[in-house]
Structure 1
Amino acid sequence: MPNTRLPEFGLVLPEQFVEIPLSGDEDTRSEIIYEMVRDTFGPDEGESDRFLHTLAFWVGVTEAVDEQGAHLAALMPVPRQDGQGFDTITLVMTLVETTLVTPDVAIEGLLALLRSRLPHADVRPIDLPCGPAAAAVELGAYQFPPELHPDGIAVEMPQGRFQVHIPLPGQAWTAIFEMTTTALDDWDDCCVLMAAIMRTVGFGELEYDEQGVELVPEPPTKTDIGSALTKS
């Protein structure tokens, strides 16, 4: 019988990230994205064409993420180094049911899968506090489909991608984390950020101290995130 209960998971996101609800509540999701775009542009922007275009863009993106079955989504605006507008970091996590195998077999299979799907990526095994994982990093372009673009046009967007596939220890599940961003001027910092977040990921039962207080990993610090991503 297939396993229908999702495994427990947790991670710590830096405060600059805005977590997007994926419960199908479109009104709440739109309100959260509205506030994120408003905070990013500032009160002097008003509801300009640029503001409304950006709002529609990210509402469309998050709706597509929800429809694809993601279990976590978060956005982080990144001011551009030239001061003209901002880019966005998107973090998505999806749990995929798999066959229960040993960690070594799982990692070998994941590495082969990533090398096949992402032939131009830097694919390698990595060790995380939660266990072994497979990672793929690449710079390229994303073909944004017209049905998701506010103007109904196809757009090619330069993009960096950082995927981490984690086979859950002792469970027939794999967690797939994917960070994508157009902030290519800050790509090195984005990679440091993703690595810091991945070190906070945990699965299974929560841990408590002797007083019964839940043990929560320290969130990534500003040093972890990188100065380019923590500008005021």
Structure 2
Amino acid sequence: MAVSSPASTDRPTEGPELLVDVPPGFVGLPLRGSAEDNAAAIAGLASDLAPHAGDQAAELPRHLTWLAQLLAEGSVRLYGRFAVSDTSLAELALAVVPLRAEDDTGPAAVRRNRHAAVEELRRHYLERHPGADARIVPLGLGPAMVAVTAGEYRLPPQATRTGQATVLPQLRAEFQLPVPAGTHLIVLVVTGRDEETWQAVLTAAMRVANSIRLEPGTE
């Protein structure tokens, strides 16, 4: 299934529109440029989730509106979940952020040598996350940095049904892919929390990343 950029906008500073093939069974919230489009996406997702929300169904639109505003502030264009097994879900977030002209990974550096710019992205990532397995991989849109980290996700007592703090395993795969023009960076993050499905999560993440392409006619 191909979906158009979830955050298409009339403002050129928001970056190019994207096409991406989402995993089977993906349920997500696409974020677009206009309030009308966002409202339509929220209403559609709330309708899909309502049969599974029980007593919370009436609150879904309000919660989803808050989530959409929060994600949009972080330049996230698409957020959602998909099943990797009968009992396990993975989360997916896709963002597009501008590259700063003064950085060593900025537009001029990308246009001059995309592979070298991606290597700088990898170096910067490892400075922040020294335990990550970070590599350069070829994708359909060009070279990208992919970093995989395995660790723990801690839920505070107020976020659990038992009222007790919980520690969950977490696998995170992050792709950083500069667009050919060098103006923006595409960031894809896929997260899984079930060790038995981590390989399936990585496989799905790679398929999504490799499917990312620009809407014809955009930069």
TM-score surpassing 0.5? yes
Structure 1 residue 173 displacement after superposition: 1.0
1:70 counterpart (65, 76, 82): 76
Cross-structure match for 2:92: 91
Cross-structure match for 2:149: 138
**Whole-angstrom CA distance in 1 between matches of 2:157 and 2:31:** 22
5+ residue gaps in structure 2? 1-11, 100-105
The CA RMSD measured in Å over matched residues stands at 3.6
Q: Percent identity?
A: 22
2:24 counterpart (15, 21, 26): 15
Query: Would the aligned equivalents of 1:75 and 1:91 in 2 still touch at CA under 8 Å?
Result: yes
**Whole-angstrom CA distance in 2 between matches of 1:34 and 1:183:** 28
Q: How does 1:1-232 map to 2 (within 5 A)?
A: 4-23=13-32, 25=38, 29=42, 32=45, 35-36=48-49, 38=51, 47=54, 64-80=70-86, 86-98=87-99, 99-100=106-107, 101=109, 102-144=113-155, 149=159, 156-203=167-214, 205=216
Secondary structure of 1:4's aligned partner: helix
User: Using a 3 Å threshold, how does the CA distance of structure 1 residues 166 and 28 change in structure 2: closer, same or farther?
Assistant: closer
**Whole-angstrom CA distance in 2 between matches of 1:63 and 1:150:** 24
**Whole-angstrom CA distance in 1 between matches of 2:29 and 2:197:** 23
**Partner amino acid, structure 2, of 1:96:** V
Structure 1 residue 163 displacement after superposition: 0.5
After superposition, what is the alpha-carbon deviation per residue over 1:89-143, rounded to whole angstroms, capped at 9, x for unaligned?
1111111111211303311211112112222111010001210000001111224
**Partner amino acid, structure 1, of 2:77:** H
User: Using a 3 Å threshold, how does the CA distance of structure 1 residues 113 and 145 change in structure 2: closer, same or farther?
Assistant: farther
Secondary structure of 1:199's aligned partner: helix
**Partner amino acid, structure 2, of 1:93:** L
**Partner amino acid, structure 2, of 1:47:** G
5+ residue gaps in structure 1? 81-85, 208-232
Q: TM-score, normalised by structure 2?
A: 0.69
Query: Would the aligned equivalents of 2:170 and 2:193 in 1 still touch at CA under 8 Å?
Result: yes
Give the helix-richer structure, 1 or 2: 2
